[in-house]
């Protein structure tokens, strides 16, 4: 993570839904996430996918975080949606 923008975005995503993502990664995707660097790349890629798919490419960091915080209030839905994004990101990298 080189840029300050990326670092900030990764930190915000981690604080908003990091526990849910950790749970999903440990349960379903642990074989594909081996290093911490890979985890940070995953968080950043999830934020990019949210911006692209949910916000139609027009969101700011604040919009992404607001979406994640709303999503967090519905934990089951959050798990489903975040699992979708994790799977999509990891399949792109293969």
Predicted confidence (pLDDT) per residue in 25-79, tens digit? 989 888 777 765 688 899 999 999 999 999 999 989 999 999 999 999 999 999 9
Residue of 79, 77, 75, 3 lying closest to 44 (CA atoms) = 3
Q: Which two tokens stand for residue 4?
A: 């300050």
The pLDDT score that the predictor gives to residue 39 is: 86
Instruction: Give whole-number Cα distances, 4 to 30, 62, 87, in Å.
Output: 27, 15, 26
The pLDDT score that the predictor gives to residue 92 is: 81
Q: What is the CA radius of gyration of the chain?
A: 12
Are 86 and 25 contacting, i.e. CB atoms less than 8 angstroms apart? Answer: yes
Query: 77 or 1: whose pLDDT is higher?
Result: 77
The pLDDT score that the predictor gives to residue 73 is: 94
**For the whole prediction, is pTM greater than 0.75?**
yes
Are 13 and 82 contacting, i.e. CB atoms less than 8 angstroms apart? Answer: no
The pLDDT score that the predictor gives to residue 91 is: 86
């Amino acid at each position: 993570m080189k840029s300050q923008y990326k670092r900030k975005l990764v930190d915000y995503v981690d604080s908003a839904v990091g526990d849910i993502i950790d749970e999903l990664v440990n349960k379903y995707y642990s074989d594909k996430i081996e290093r911490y660097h890979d985890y940070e790349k995953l968080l950043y890629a999830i934020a990019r996918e949210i911006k692209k798919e949910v916000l139609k490419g027009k969101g700011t960091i604040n919009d992404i975080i607001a979406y994640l915080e709303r999503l967090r209030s519905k934990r089951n839905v959050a798990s489903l949606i975040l699992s979708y994004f994790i799977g999509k990101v990891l399949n792109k990298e293969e």
